[in-house]
């Protein structure tokens, strides 16, 4: 895979202060437990008595829900900057160890496993939606900590969490994770930053994802601001998408090939056409907008299949 494509149980801390922790999972028939949607949290699962997986906490309500679950540490594997200050306000510690959609490296899986082992629990691991990277990182680290968790059990959790089948790199990471030998985790760096540095390219991809999410909601509302998100301005969101594509082209690593750069230009042109259609003074043309939306989706599918999903 090209280098630029890679840019992108019961956990108890013993009261004596010992760094070793014990991972005790409930019986296979009982775990992971699907908890669903809580206030400000989505797709929440309990993998073990001290390990949860789910979506990004939304506002104070999300962090209040985490407190009600007894969570003490929040571990983000998403590329977006964590809301460290809001977490602190609720007495929670944030750790930021991002992973890509193409998989979880052995080094990062071990680092996350050490965090789960050593930091105050229960621990809540999240990505953005709580469906793909978060479950994969949780399951890979879970398998590192508990030899009783088979590859089949880890994969079954991904499927239950809704991890898309085309993210083959995430499934492969859980299936093939290399468990650390005796004392292996003790040799892993114990630095757990609140905010990890991410490249300008990754930041633009995060912005692109947010714009797509907003436009998806706008489309479902008939190309208008959705009732539950009235602050969204449809043409402005299309503009944000176009600018994200443009900045991604500027920030792309030198190793990015000509095809990838061409796809970024096509995405920018498509988004600008969508912005123009949404700014039309007369009645908007839903058919034209749908064509642009299908083209945008097809472009994303092609690009993700080659550079993000981990299939190569």
Residues 210 and 224: their CA atoms lie apart, in Å, by 17
Q: Is the dihedral of CA 249, 257, 296, 227 positive or negative?
A: negative
CA angle centred on 309, ends 38 and 128, rounded to 5°: 20
pLDDT tens digits in sequence order for the chain, 312 residues long = 444 344 333 322 222 233 333 344 444 435 689 998 999 999 999 999 899 999 999 999 999 999 999 999 999 998 888 999 999 999 999 999 998 887 899 999 999 999 999 999 999 999 988 999 999 999 999 999 999 999 999 999 999 999 988 788 899 999 999 999 889 999 998 989 999 887 777 777 777 888 888 899 999 999 999 998 888 889 888 888 888 888 788 777 788 888 888 888 999 999 999 989 998 877 788 899 999 999 988 888 887 776 665 554
Number of CB atoms found within 10 A of residue 230's CB: 10
- Token digits for 184? 């292996």
Which pLDDT score is estimated for 307? Answer: 65
Interatomic CA distance for residues 49 and 33, integer angstroms: 10
Total Cβ atoms within 10 A of residue 121: 23
pTM of the model: 0.69
What is the DSSP secondary structure assignment for residue 100, as one 8-state letter?
B
**Pure H helices in the chain:** 59-69, 84-89, 106-118, 133-145, 151-161, 168-176, 200-220, 234-251, 258-278, 286-307
Domains of the chain: 3-187 (3.90.190.10), 200-307 (1.20.120)
Write b or e for each residue in 89-119: b if 16 or more Cβ atoms lie within 10 A of its Cβ, otherwise e. Answer: ebebbbbbbbbbbbbbebebbbbbbbbbbbb
């Amino acid at each position: 895979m090209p280098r630029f494509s890679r840019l992108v149980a019961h956990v108890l801390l013993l009261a004596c202060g010992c760094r070793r922790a014990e991972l005790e999972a409930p019986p296979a028939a009982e775990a992971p437990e699907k908890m669903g949607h809580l206030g400000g949290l989505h797709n929440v699962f309990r993998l073990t008595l001290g390990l949860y997986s789910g979506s990004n906490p939304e506002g104070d309500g999300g962090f209040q829900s985490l407190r009600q679950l007894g969570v003490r540490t929040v571990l983000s594997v998403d590329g977006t900057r964590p809301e460290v200050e809001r977490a602190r306000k609720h007495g929670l510690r944030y750790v930021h160890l991002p992973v890509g959609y193409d998989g979880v490296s052995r080094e990062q899986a071990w680092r996350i496993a050490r965090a789960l082992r050593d930091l105050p629990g229960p621990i809540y691991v999240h990505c953005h939606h709580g469906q793909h990277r978060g479950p994969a990182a949780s399951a890979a680290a879970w398998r590192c900590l508990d030899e009783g968790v088979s590859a089949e059990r880890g994969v079954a959790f991904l499927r239950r969490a809704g991890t898309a089948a085309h993210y083959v790199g995430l499934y492969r990471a859980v299936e093939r994770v290399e468990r650390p030998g005796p004392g292996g985790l003790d040799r892993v760096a114990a630095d757990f930053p609140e905010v990890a540095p991410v490249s300008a390219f990754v930041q633009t991809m995060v912005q692109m994802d947010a714009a797509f999410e907003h436009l998806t909601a706008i489309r479902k509302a008939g190309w208008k601001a959705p009732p539950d998100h009235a602050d969204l301005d449809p043409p402005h969101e299309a503009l944000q998408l176009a600018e994200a594509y443009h900045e991604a082209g500027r920030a792309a690593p030198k190793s990015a090939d000509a095809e990838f750069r061409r796809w970024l230009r096509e995405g920018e042109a498509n988004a600008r056409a969508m912005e123009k259609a949404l700014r039309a003074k007369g009645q908007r043309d839903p058919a034209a907008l749908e064509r642009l939306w299908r083209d945008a989706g097809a472009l994303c599918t092609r690009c993700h299949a080659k550079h993000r999903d981990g299939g190569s």
